[in-house]
Amino acid sequence: MTPFGQALRELRRRKGVTQRDLAEAIGVTPAYLSALEHGRRGRPTFELLQRIAGYFNVIWDEAEELFLLAEASHPKVVLDTSGLPAPYTAFANRLAQQIRTLPPDVIENMDTLLRKTPRPD
């Protein structure tokens, strides 16, 4: 499941809406919506995000959070390490090989470390 899929499922649960009802209202199939929630589909388009936010009539802050979660929810990530030193490529490959087996606390620690690292502009 992706962060967006989890948020969408929670939003549906809070509002008492089934996948079928939402899918019909926003013009997608229930199968697509299920795949989106389970992380078997890539990020939704901006247009689809707008339809979802409109359907639930969410306030701007909640819609913005949903859009940011969608941006961080592509289930098949590509890391381009061309031009970087060899240890960067080795790390990216190790991460790709081991990510499914990492315990949640390791993911949380790595995420915390990355969030503390300044991003280049």
Residue with structure tokens 């019909």?
Answer: 24
Domain containing 10 equals 3-71
Report the chain's C-alpha Rg in angstroms: 17
Structurally, the chain folds into a number of domains equal to 2
pLDDT tens digits in sequence order for the chain, 121 residues long: 888 999 999 999 999 999 999 999 999 999 999 999 998 888 889 999 999 999 999 888 888 989 989 988 877 788 899 999 999 999 999 999 999 999 999 999 999 999 999 887 6
pTM equals: 0.68
Q: Which residues contact 25 (CB under 8 A, 6 or more apart)?
A: 55
The answer to whether residues 16 and 60 belong to one domain is yes
What are the helix (H) ranges across the chain?
3-15, 19-26, 30-37, 46-56, 60-71, 86-98, 104-116
What's the CATH code of the domain at 23?
A: 1.10.260.40
